[in-house]
Amino acid sequence: MPDGLELRVKAQPKSRRPGLGGLSADGAALRVAVTEAPEDGRANRAICIAVAAALHVPPSAITLTQGATGRLKTLRIAGDPDRLTETLNRLLA
């Protein structure tokens, strides 16, 4: 993508310890745990805020493009794709 990137995440709502938890078991998605329940989009908003904070972008730069009601989600992150990829790689290292 010329401006931004897509990120697959696996949601863990109602978690005791919120935060990014590395890759999912199959390595296809970033695990994101949030304390909010998956009701009325609260968990989705919390996931977007957590990813935005980790990647140092404003929450408005994150858009949920797929998976609003499922655990596996696709987020669209606006910004410089090289910088975002570098930051993401540092988080996963």
Q: Dump pLDDT digits (tens) for 44-71.
A: 999 999 999 999 999 999 999 999 999 9
AA letter at 5: L
Is 71 in contact with 24 (CB distance < 8 Å)?
no
In the CATH scheme, what is the code of domain 5-92? 3.30.1200.10
Q: Give the Cβ contact number of residue 2 at 10 Å.
A: 4
Residue 2: its pLDDT value, please? 61
**CB-CB contact of 76 with 8 (8 Å):** no
In this prediction, residue 12 carries a pLDDT of: 95
Ordered by start, the domain boundaries in the chain are: 5-92
Instruction: Output the pLDDT for position 24.
Output: 87
Residue 44 is predicted with a pLDDT of 97
Q: How sure is the predictor about 91, in pLDDT bands with cuts at 50, 70 and 90? A: confident
Q: Which tens digit of pLDDT belongs to each residue from 11-43?
A: 999 999 999 988 988 888 999 999 999 999 999
Beta strands in 1-93 (DSSP E): 5-12, 19-23, 30-33, 62-66, 72-77
